A and B are shown apart, each in its own frame.
Chain A
Amino acid sequence: MSMPVVSDQQPAPQGVVHRVRFRRRRPNRFSIAGLVGSALVIFWSLVALLGPLLAPHGVGAIVADDSFAPMTVQFPLGSDYLGRDVLSRILYGARYTVGLALAAALLASTAGTALGLFATVSGRWIDETLSRLLDALTCIPSKVFALVMVAGFGSSVPLLILTAALSYLPGAYRIARSLAVNLNVMEYVQVARARGEGRAHIACFEILPNMIHPMLADFGLRYVFVVLLLSGLSFLGLGVQPPAADLGSLVRENISGLADGSPAVIMPALAIATLTIGVNLLIDSLPGRARSLTQGALR
């Protein structure tokens, strides 16, 4: 029995590493999981872009004779509670799920990174205050925060984007700040400082380029969380409002078909899962530090 080999997912221990390295299995970098992940991400991006063109029926068209029809050649994913084609509904709805989450996750990651950089190059006081404030925000579970926001301001697309972005901003901030603080003490940053560069220059041209990769992986994670949050809200009837429908709304509106085992309930839920699992698998197959992010991130 061999000793515990340190996996490539974790920083290698200093002492053990040279004993282990020659025994370590060559990690197959782009594993099957990674390929599956990229395929799913590409698939859903295409669906979001071209969905309405591919849909065999209109989004609101009542085409089937009965509601909750099973899967047939004519309606590959069955029909929904009104007799609409589920496949077409999913092809249209994916737009909302993919697009809204993309906007919100971009907002969260960009703002988180900017604030993290700002806290790092500013004085201790600003750093402390900002960190404390954003830490306090993490104590509100994301779904609870979303419910409070919807109750306060009503549900609309801009509000949903803002809510999701605010929910996951503190997490992005924490990662960005910890990366930036570590880079801030590197020699080349100190050289830049000695050279008399301003804070903005140091933040944008010395620190930022070196943390962009882990932040991109973190963005992927935020994206998954936002998709789940927003579809959860839609499932509760508090997210995207009818007649617009994202994938979560599709699960909600067809929930009465569950007792008959209708595909109209399962298929949209499966669609969300394949999107989020795909992104997760893709991030996890990225080389380097990105992988360790997926270990500790909280949904």
Chain B
Amino acid sequence: MAILIVRRVGIALLTLLLVSAVIFSITAVLPGDAAQAALGQSATPEMIAALRAQMGLDDPAYLRYLRWLGGLLTGNPGQSLANNRPVAELIALRLPRSLLLAGAAAAVSVPVALTTGILSAMYPGSRLDRLLSTATLAMIAVPEFLVATVAVLIFAVKLHWLSALSYVPDTPGIAPFLRAYTMPVMSLSFVVIAQMARMTRAAVIEQVSQPYVEMAILKGARPARIILRHALPNAAGPIVNAMALSLSYLLGGAIIVETIFNYPGIASLMVDAVTNRDIPLLQACAMIFCCAYLILVLLADVFAIVSSPKLRRR
């Protein structure tokens, strides 16, 4: 089992290396802009050339890549071009907020999605199942800014419960937390719930087609017992995998949702970095997103290995 897990971690690290190369090569094709951006329009060509040399922008691409990679590994991904602060500092400020938002969205989506998915798997083909199936199918296709705008329309404009599109700074207490997070969490969870519910249903139904479930049916077990006692423990691995993949959607969804609600998280930081062409900041943010994805998938893989007796004994 340990060997399997170590192998997975190794593959993940290798993938991360490849991803870093991809991100670096896309963003570093036009390296001249960094010096130009730092000095502004009025800079003379000589000044730009001097700064380029100083910033090491004239070195060949592979050297710049290695230097950048070394910086990432030692926790120093460089200096933000837009406001001359270390990228690490900016990220340290924003990352906890994004994690809080993602955590809240996960805490809402997982129970709802699991219940929905398992419920429809218990009575496949029933009216409830078909209703849920069509509803989740439609939900997957909804852009998050529609969910967000409709939420604002209902809760802020019509009901006046929440304030529209403004982030309330942290004040301790339940009520301010709910006021600040209800709409962002709702917009983020919408798609995640639908996706997770569908994948959970598929994972459980997959088990229902196994011979041991037929055995349970022949034994006369009730549907609820067949699903909860027989199928579900075996579906745990695939379900956790489905959860991880669906939760990874939070990463992309956060980019839109944080922007709409002016939420000061890492996703809105990244959007600002693109707008300002702040390449070091952008690269670091992109790496964090890819890391988060890989960690999620890796955790699901490890869980699948640990939870499966067949793999555990190897």
Interface residue ranges, A against B (CB under 8 Å) = 1-16, 24-25, 33, 133, 135-137, 139-144, 147-153, 224, 228, 231-232, 235-238, 248, 251, 255, 258-261, 265-266, 269-270, 272-273, 276-277, 279-281, 284, 292, 294-296, 298-299
Contacts and interface: CB of A to CB of B under 8 A. Distances in A.
Nearest 7 CB-CB pairs, A to B?
A13-B209, A276-B141, A7-B124, A269-B146, A143-B252, A7-B125, A295-B202
B205 A276 contact: no
A69 B149 CA distance: 18
Contacts, number: 221
B158 to A, nearest CB: 7
22 contacts: A3-B223, A4-B124, A4-B208, A6-B124, A9-B205, A10-B124, A10-B209, A13-B213, A13-B214, A33-B134, A33-B137, A140-B23, A141-B252, A143-B251, A143-B255, A147-B271, A148-B282, A235-B256, A258-B165, A261-B158, A273-B143, A295-B198
B270 A152 contact: no
Given A141-B251, A141-B252, A236-B255, A251 B122 contact: no
A269 B124 CA distance: 33
B142 A276 contact: yes
Contact of A228 (B141, B260, B282): B141
A140 B209 contact: no
A281 B256 contact: no
Contact of A296 (B29, B144, B199, B271): B199
Interface stretch (B43-51, B101-109, B174-182, B273-281): B273-281
Contact of B255 (A144, A224, A258): A144
Contacts of A10: 124, 202, 205-206, 209
Interface in B137-180: 137-138, 140-146, 149-150, 152-153, 156-158, 164-165
Contact of B205 (A7, A133, A266, A270): A7
Contacts of B251: 141, 143-144
Contacts of B16: 139
Given A147-B286, A258-B149, A136 B22 contact: yes
A140 B19 contact: yes
Contact of A272 (B146, B209, B255): B146
Contact of B137 (A235, A294, A296): A294
B192 to A, nearest CB: 10
B74 interface: no
A280 B138 contact: yes
B142 A152 contact: no
B21 to A, nearest CB: 9
A38 B122 CA distance: 30
B162 to A, nearest CB: 12
B254 to A, nearest CB: 9
Contacts of A13: 208-211, 213-214
B22 A137 contact: yes
A8 B165 contact: no
Contacts of A5: 124-125
A232 B290 contact: no
A280 B141 contact: yes
Contacts of A284: 133-134, 137
Interface string B15-57: 1101100110011111000000000000000000000000000
A273 B146 contact: yes
Interface of B: 15-16, 18-19, 22-23, 26-30, 121-125, 129, 133-134, 137-138, 140-146, 149-150, 152-153, 156-158, 164-165, 191, 195, 198-199, 201-202, 205-206, 208-211, 213-214, 217, 222-223, 226-227, 242, 245-246, 248-249, 251-252, 255-256, 259-260, 270-271, 273-275, 277, 279, 282, 285-286, 289-290, 293-294, 297
Contacts of A152: 26-30
A5 B125 CA distance: 7
B227 to A, nearest CB: 7
B153 to A, nearest CB: 5
A159 to B, nearest CB: 11
A228 B94 CA distance: 26
Given A33-B134, A258-B152, A144 B252 contact: yes
A76 to B, nearest CB: 19
A103 to B, nearest CB: 20
Given A136-B19, A137-B22, A269-B149, A144 B270 contact: yes
B208 A141 contact: no
A236 B252 CA distance: 13
B157 A260 contact: yes
A151 B164 contact: no
Given A139-B15, A147-B286, A259-B157, A3 B217 contact: yes
Contacts of A281: 134, 137-138
B206 to A, nearest CB: 7
B201 A147 contact: no
Given A15-B211, A15-B214, A296 B27 contact: no
B195 A299 contact: yes
A261 B152 CA distance: 9
